[in-house]
Amino acid sequence: MSSVQLAGVADALAAVAEGTAMVVAGEVTQVLGIASACDLHRVDENVIVAGAERWVPGGADGTPDIGEFVAAELGLALGVSPASAMCRIADVLNVRHRHPGLWGAVLAGRVRFFEAARVAQACVDAGIDQTACGVVDRHCVVALALQPWSRVRGRIEGWILLADPAAAAEREAKAALARRVEVGAVKAGHCDLWGRLDAADGIALDHALTSIAKTLPTDHDLDVRRAAAVGVLARQALGQAELPRAAEVIVHLDATPTADGADLADAAQVQGWGAVLTDRLGHVLAGCQVTVRPLLDARSMAPTDAYELPASMRRVLEGRWPADAFPHGSRASASCQADHTAAFDHDAPAGHGQTHPDLMAPLSPFAHRVKTHGGWGCAQPEPGLLVWTTPHGWQVVTTPAGTIVIQRPEPREHAWWHREPPDWLDDPPEEVDGPDPGPAQPPLALAYAFTA
């Protein structure tokens, strides 16, 4: 027997939304409690004996010292070990003191704490100081307010590079000294392979493995053939001619117009790989044939009657929309289909001009199916702005910057759901003779559980 009864899908969605809000409220309460416990806990500095409590750093650069014993009772409250409690404390203090924008967004319920904590940890791992964290913080506050975590997390490294390019160059130099490749012991007839490579070598190796794999018998899937390609490279290393380099590497590089031309951004995004410093692009792309394709203005393009989007228009569409235009979409637009916002009319007369970047948006196959067959409404009142309506009353706006919920459905009743009576409560008698016997009592064990 189910303990919850819902009148329909709308009530079920309302219950999910309410439950999510309760979870977020609980997270905020927990985070505030941890921060307050660290603020209020004091160390008795008059006790000077071996093993006495000490002040210890609460987190990374810019966080206050805390009394180390606070982690013991926080561990009890959290149900974790003191070591795990110290890690939780570091997460809270790193966000509060190094990422004030994210801290405010967490307290307001706009950003989940685990997302803010992962941003903070990425900055700790990179070794950047509190000032540089402020740059990352400003980028992440805007992005996480509008975009899902799966879309934002891949851009954090690029913002860290922008925050302190000099420190990024130092990290790259140190990482170069830590490059290595390890082949593990034979287990079940196979070896594990792990390595850290220069970015150019890693990209070249990936393309080479795929190129070789496509020439191997197709008895197995591509992943198995890529693994076999490592053996091909190993056996043919001596005297092997250079492999063809037919793969395409797409680099996104922003520029700011100046009186003398343009200033390039300090970091570039290698599509599908991650961010690199701009002054390292020459090394990463060494030996590649480079084609520079500046993004065109969609207003200079005439609409076409063809159903498929021409390649030049496709590049404009992907430049405008970096990701799936569906609410909270995270799939890269390069792997999405170009969807006509208004259904394409195959019987329209010539010259109707239904295909143009201003009339389309990138959608994943699933999003396209929902839009087409799921009862969702979608309009594009202006280029780069989609207005979505759902079957149960949600209204959402998506832009290249992310997703904004503008209307939630109102519940039909005050209560989202109602619970069934507990199994131990007897059905009321149809007729009552004599004095009211009072409510039935729960079993003894359950009563103990309530009062323990």
Q: DSSP 3-state assignment of 171?
A: helix
Q: Is residue 163 in a domain?
A: no
Q: Which residues of the chain fall below pLDDT 70?
A: 1-4, 186, 238-247, 287, 295, 411-452
Q: Is residue 241 in a domain?
A: no
Structural domain count, the chain = 2
Residues 116/95, Cβ–Cβ less than 8 Å: yes
Q: For position 275, what pLDDT does the model report?
A: 83
* H or E stretch at 183: strand 180-187
Q: For position 296, what pLDDT does the model report?
A: 73
Structure token digits, residue 140: 């992440």
Furthest-apart CA atoms within the chain: distance in Å: 104
Residue 286 — φ and ψ, nearest 5°?
A: -60, 130
Q: Which residue, among 19, 90, 105, 28, has the nearest Cα to 57 in the 3D structure?
A: 90
Residue 24 — φ and ψ, nearest 5°?
A: -60, -45
Q: Is residue 261 in a domain?
A: yes
Residue 84 — φ and ψ, nearest 5°?
A: -65, -35
Q: Which residue, among 209, 183, 178, 210, has the nearest Cα to 196 in the 3D structure?
A: 178
DSSP string, 390-438: -TTS-EEEEETTEEEEEE-PPPSSSSS-EEPPPTTSPPPPSS--SS---
CA dihedral over 428, 432, 438, 443, signed as positive or negative: negative
Q: For position 283, what pLDDT does the model report?
A: 78
Domain that holds residue 262: 251-284
pTM above 0.75, yes or no: no
Note the pLDDT tens digit of each residue in 28-82: 999 999 999 999 999 888 888 888 889 999 999 999 999 999 998 898 889 888 8
Q: Is residue 383 in a domain?
A: no
Q: Which residue, among 138, 38, 144, has the nearest Cα to 91 in the 3D structure?
A: 38
Q: DSSP 3-state assignment of 334?
A: helix
Q: For position 288, what pLDDT does the model report?
A: 73
Residue type present at position 429: P
Note the pLDDT tens digit of each residue in 393-431: 889 999 999 999 898 877 666 554 445 555 555 565 565
> For residue 243, how far is the Cα from the chain centroid?
36
Buried b (16+ CB within 10 A) or exposed e, 22-46: eebeeebeebeebbebbeebebeee
Q: Is residue 400 in a domain?
A: no
Structure token digits, residue 444: 């003894």
Q: For position 269, what pLDDT does the model report?
A: 82
Task: Verify that 223 and 190 share a domain, yes or no.
Answer: yes
DSSP string, 3-59: SEE-SSHHHHHHHHHHHHHHHHHHHHHHHHHHHHHHHH----TT--STT---EEE-S
Q: Which residue, among 122, 113, 117, has the nearest Cα to 159 in the 3D structure?
A: 122
Q: Is residue 219 in a domain?
A: yes
Q: Is residue 371 in a domain?
A: no
* H or E stretch at 274: strand 274-277
Q: What is the DSSP letter of 265?
A: P
**Sequence-separated contacts (24+) of 299-304 with Cβ below 8 Å:** 301/356, 301/357, 302/353, 302/356, 303/353, 303/354, 303/355, 303/356, 303/359, 304/353, 304/355, 304/356
Q: Is residue 231 in a domain?
A: yes
Residues 110/27, Cβ–Cβ less than 8 Å: no
Q: How far apart are CA 111 and CA 149, in angstroms?
A: 9
**Sequence-separated contacts (24+) of 336-345 with Cβ below 8 Å:** 336/362, 336/363, 336/364, 336/367, 337/362, 337/363, 337/364, 337/365, 337/368, 338/308, 338/309, 338/314, 338/362, 339/363, 339/367, 339/368, 339/371, 341/378, 341/379, 341/380, 341/386, 342/380, 343/372, 344/307
Q: DSSP 3-state assignment of 381?
A: strand
Q: What is the DSSP letter of 261?
A: E
Neighbours of 451 (CB within 10 A): 6
Residues 6+ away with beta carbon under 8 Å from 347: none
DSSP string, 193-227: EEEE--HHHHHHHHHHHHHHHTTS-TTS-HHHHHH
The label of the residue with tokens 């076999």 reads 228
